Amino acid sequence: MHIIGPHTSIAKGVHNAAEEAARLGANGFGMFTKNQRQWHAKPLEQAQIRLFQESLERHGFKADGILVHDSYLINLAHGDEETWQKAVGAFIDEVERVEALSLKLLNFHPGAHLGLLDPPAALKRVASALDRAIEESAWAHLVIENTSGAGTTLGSSFEQLAQIIEYSRYPDRIGCCLDTCHAHAAGYDLSTIEGFETAIARFDALVGLDKLWGMHLNDAKSECGSRLDRHASLGHGTIGWATFDHIASDERFASIPLVLETVDQSLWEAEVARLRWGKDHGRAL
């Protein structure tokens, strides 16, 4: 059975992410472990951790089905040394929070070179940051998310994802999350099953499907190749339901979290139902 759920809120505590996901009929979910718009947060308290673990157990969630996302402020490709060190420190804190919750997967954006470095040097900078985090942690797996390619952001091509892993000294603990909206906006046409299969074959050839550790299932408001990161609800964008139905029925993706970051939360329950159980369970969409 595929692992499907939305990225849920921790506004009332980290355990709320599991509670909300269960209410929506999910068997996996995405989450932050702190306010994603702030650099610092208090360490997780034992009472918070206990509540979270109890929620996971009560609803049958497994650690492999939860995709944690780091702070949007962190730029591991920054060319300024002081700013980069600050970003690395914040990223290590994110890794420590994942392990404190006994989770496994930390999803992150590779960052932007901002014109301070050329792309190859910036990719090596990202890999160096990941190596630092791995050396200071026990088991967390670091999951690079592909990007739409706006501005100087890295990671819009599968070639760059592969390069980051290749540059690392610890490739066994680094994988990827494929965001469908980002891939489509970056120029991989996912609007048909054939287009999706062409893209996934390219990913397999360059990175390897064994390195696909999660997916973000988002439709796209913008056209293929637009470089615009604009998420849409499933079936309400330029990708369309055929591709998402295909992903949710493909056994190659059955063991990784497929996380919704779609824009209309009132549709999450119906989106989850259709993805988990088929078209007849998503009639409201």
Residue 223's Cβ-count burial label (10 Å; 0-12, 13-18, 19+) is middle
From the candidates 19, 20, 94, 145, give the one annotated as an active-site residue.
Answer: 145
Whether residue 109 lies in the annotated active site: yes
- Report which of 190, 235, 236, 187 is spatially closest to residue 215, judged by C-alpha positions: 190
Whether residue 19 lies in the annotated active site: no
Whether residue 188 lies in the annotated active site: no
From the candidates 93, 96, 131, 179, give the one annotated as an active-site residue.
Answer: 179
From the candidates 7, 109, 125, 274, give the one annotated as an active-site residue.
Answer: 109
From the candidates 64, 250, 261, 269, give the one annotated as an active-site residue.
Answer: 261
From the candidates 2, 7, 69, 274, give the one annotated as an active-site residue.
Answer: 69
Bridge partners, residue 107, by sequence = 69, 143
Whether residue 223 lies in the annotated active site: no
Whether residue 261 lies in the annotated active site: yes
From the candidates 2, 78, 182, 276, give the one annotated as an active-site residue.
Answer: 182
Bridge partners, residue 257, by sequence = 3
Question: What is d(CA 265, CA 248) in angstroms, rounded to the nearest whole number?
Answer: 19
Whether residue 197 lies in the annotated active site: no
From the candidates 216, 236, 274, 276, give the one annotated as an active-site residue.
Answer: 216
Bridge partners, residue 263, by sequence = none
From the candidates 94, 229, 245, 271, give the one annotated as an active-site residue.
Answer: 229
Give the count of beta carbons closer than 10 Å to the beta carbon of residue 198. Answer: 14
From the candidates 37, 82, 210, 283, give the one annotated as an active-site residue.
Answer: 37
From the candidates 2, 231, 274, 276, give the one annotated as an active-site residue.
Answer: 231
Whether residue 40 lies in the annotated active site: no
> Helical H runs in 191-257?
193-206, 241-248
Question: What is d(CA 84, CA 43) in angstroms, rounded to the nearest whole number?
Answer: 22
CA distances from 256 to 52, 182, 249, 277 (A): 21, 18, 13, 17
Whether residue 231 lies in the annotated active site: yes
From the candidates 72, 80, 136, 166, give the one annotated as an active-site residue.
Answer: 72
Whether residue 141 lies in the annotated active site: no
Residues designated as active site: 37, 69, 72, 109, 145, 179, 182, 216, 229, 231, 261
